[in-house]
C-alpha cells in the first residue's frame, strides 16, 4: 500500500482569492481522503493537497477536485501526483 498525495493549485481572478478558497473548501469528493489540507499564497493562489492510501500508487483512480468556473481563475488548474517514499517527525 502506498500513500499518494494529490496536489491541486489554482490562481484566482483579481480580487477573488477568498471566493476561490471557499469554492475549494466546499467541494465534495466521491470519497474522503486520509487527509485534506487547504493552503493559500500570494497572488490569490489556492492549493489543496489530499492524501490517499492506494495499492496502485500514483496510477490509482482517485477523486480529484474539478476545474472552477473560468471567470474565477486566471489559468487552468495545475495538478500533480506524488507517492510517499519516506516520512519523519510527527
Q: Report how far residue 90's alpha carbon sits from residue 75's, in angstroms, rounded to the nearest whole number.
A: 35
The tens digit of pLDDT for each residue in 46-86 reads 999 999 999 999 999 999 999 999 999 999 999 999 999 98
Point out which residues pair with 35 in neighbouring strands.
51
* pLDDT value of position 87: 85
What is the percentage of the chain residues whose pLDDT exceeds 90? Answer: 93
Kindly tell me the sign of the dihedral angle through the C-alpha atoms of 15, 17, 22, 24: positive
Read off the pLDDT of residues 1-55 as tens digits, 9 standing for 90 and up: 899 999 999 999 999 999 999 999 999 999 999 999 999 999 999 999 999 999 9
Separation of alpha carbons 4 and 76, rounded Å: 22
pLDDT at 90 over 80: no
* pTM of the entire predicted model: 0.92
User: Are the C-beta atoms of residues 84 and 4 closer than 8 Å to each other?
Assistant: yes
Amino acid at each position: 500500500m502506498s500513500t499518494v498525495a494529490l496536489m491541486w493549485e489554482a490562481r484566482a481572478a483579481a480580487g477573488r482569492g477568498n471566493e476561490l478558497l471557499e469554492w475549494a473548501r466546499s467541494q465534495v469528493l466521491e470519497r474522503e481522503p486520509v487527509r485534506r489540507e487547504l493552503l493559500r499564497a500570494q497572488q490569490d493562489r489556492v492549493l489543496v493537497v489530499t492524501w490517499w492510501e492506494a495499492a496502485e500508487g500514483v496510477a490509482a483512480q482517485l477523486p480529484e477536485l474539478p476545474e472552477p468556473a473560468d471567470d474565477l481563475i486566471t489559468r487552468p488548474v495545475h495538478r500533480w501526483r506524488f507517492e510517499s517514499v519516506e516520512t519523519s517527525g510527527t
